[in-house]
Amino acid sequence: MNLLEVRGLSKSFSGLRAVSDVSFNVPEHSLFAMIGPNGAGKTTCFNLIAGVFPPDEGTVALGGRAIIGFRPDQICHAGIGRTFQVVKPFPQMTVLDNVIVGALNAHRDVASARREARGVLERLHLDAKADHLAASLTLPERKRLEVARAMATRPRLLLLDEVMAGLRPTEVDEMVGVFRRINAETGLTILLIEHVMRAVMALAQHIVVLHHGEKICEGAPEAVVRDPAVLECYLGEGAV
C-alpha cells in the first residue's frame, strides 16, 4: 500500500518552474531516496509535501487522505515529520528539551514526552549530550538532533533533507545504520533527499531522480545509476 502519493506536483517562483508535474508513490515501510543535481527542485518538493507553501497544481495524499492546503503543523499532526536542510535547532534549549518539543506532538503530558525523548536520543546516540544546550553541538550532532526531533513527533513518514551532508564517511555509515535499524524495528517510512551517494546506495530501496524540476527517472538504485538520462544530468552530455 502506498503511504505517500504525489500527483502532478508543480510550483513556480516568479516564473521559474521549480517543480514541474512530479508524481511518485512511496509505499508504506519503505526507504525512498530523491536525488538530483543542485537546483533540481528536491527541497521545493519537500516543502510542498510538508505544507510550507501550497503547490500551483497537483495533489499530495498521506495514507489516502489529501493533505494539500494543510499548514506545516497540521501536516505534522497528520503524520509527516521533517528535517531542514539548513538545520534549525532551538539553540538556547537543551538537547533533551529540543526533542521533548517534538515528542509533545504525540504525548499528552510532559513526563511521558520526556521519556520518549530520552529513548529517541539514545537511538541517535545523542543521549550523552541530553543536558547540553543545542547551541553547543557540532554540525553532525545538530543534524542528528534535527532527526531526533522529527522522529519524536512519531511520524508515519519521515522526510530527511540532506542529513548526511558534511558528515565523515564513518559518520555516514553510522547514520545509515541508524535509519536501517529504525526502519526495520518500527517500520517507519523514510523519504530522503541526499547528495551523498554512499548513503543513498546503502539505504534506498527505490530512487526518484529530479532534474530542472522534472522527474527524469525512478527505479531501483542499481538501475537508476546506470540510466543514461541520470548520468547525463550529473556528468554532462559527453559522459554518456
Whichever of 72 and 219 has its CB closer to another protein, that residue is: 72
Smallest separation, CB 84 to another protein (Å) = 7
Smallest separation, CB 226 to another protein (Å) = 36
Smallest separation, CB 130 to another protein (Å) = 8
Whichever of 58 and 79 has its CB closer to another protein, that residue is: 79
Smallest separation, CB 146 to another protein (Å) = 8
User: Contact 68/54 with Cβ under 8 angstroms?
Assistant: yes
Question: Footprint of another protein on this chain (CB under 8 A)?
Answer: 50, 52, 71-73, 76-77, 81-82, 84, 88-94, 96-97, 100-102, 104-105, 110, 114, 130-131, 133, 149-150, 153
DSSP three-state, residue 203: helix
Whichever of 75 and 200 has its CB closer to another protein, that residue is: 75
Q: Quote the CA–CA distance of 204 and 211 in Å, as a whole number.
A: 19
Own/partner contacts of 38-43, CB < 8 Å, gap of 24 or more, are: 39/212, 40/210, 40/211, 40/212, 40/213, 40/233, 41/11, 41/210, 41/212, 41/213, 41/214, 42/161, 42/193, 42/210, 43/85, 43/161, 43/193
Whichever of 81 and 221 has its CB closer to another protein, that residue is: 81
